[in-house]
Amino acid sequence: MDFAPPPDSLAALTIALREFAAERDWDAFHNPKNLVMALSVEVAELMEHFQWLPAAAAADLPAASKAQVRDELADVLLYLVRLADKLDVELVTAGYDKIQKNALKYPADKARGSMRKYTEL
């Protein structure tokens, strides 16, 4: 029996992106260098929505701005997932691994309420 990931999983999204790119013959353009550059551009586009906002306004965006931010977040996610796929990185596992590493670098009893770097705790 073939495994089919749930439609809301990162694995399903990865497969959908592969198919989307294949249907358009974009694989030649989706190399890690190009994907990381595109990811950077999308992050910059996301940042534009927050650039001059006070912190309180950034946390309470109007509906129209929130819809635009949602689209930019989706662009960031899609490029990140595509890049991870090309580099054979399983993002969920990598994320959990990084949380564990950060827990060692930032013990809760030392880092709580602090924005200092781990080397300064």
Nearest to 32 by CA among 79, 72, 100, 64: 79
Report, as an integer, the average pLDDT of 101-119: 91
For the stretch 72-89, pLDDT in tens is: 999 999 999 999 999 999
Mean pLDDT throughout 92-108? 94
Dihedral class, residue 113 (left if φ above 0, else alpha if ψ from -120 to 50, else beta): left
CA pair distance 75, 72, nearest whole angstrom:
5
Residue 3 pLDDT grade (very low, low, confident, very high; cuts 50, 70, 90): low
Dmax over CA atoms of the chain, in Å, equals 53
What average pLDDT does the segment 35-41 reach? Answer: 98
CA–CA gap between residue 119 and residue 121 (Å, rounded): 6
Please tell me the predicted confidence (pLDDT) of residue 74.
97
pLDDT of 4 reads: 65
Q: Are 106 and 41 in contact (CB under 8 A)?
A: no
Task: State how far the Cα of 62 lies from the Cα of 77, in Å rounded to an integer.
Answer: 22
Phi-psi bin for 88: left (phi > 0), alpha (psi -120 to 50), beta?
left
Residue 6's SS3 state is: coil
**What per-residue confidence (pLDDT) applies to 2?**
59
Whether 7 has a pLDDT exceeding 90, the answer reads no
Mean pLDDT of 16-35: 96
Mean pLDDT of 32-38: 98
Average per-residue pLDDT in the chain?
Answer: 93
Structural domains of the chain in order of their starting residue, each with its CATH number: 10-88 (1.10.287.1080), 90-121 (no CATH)
Q: Render pLDDT for 52-64 as a digit per residue (tens, 0 to 9).
A: 999 999 999 999 9
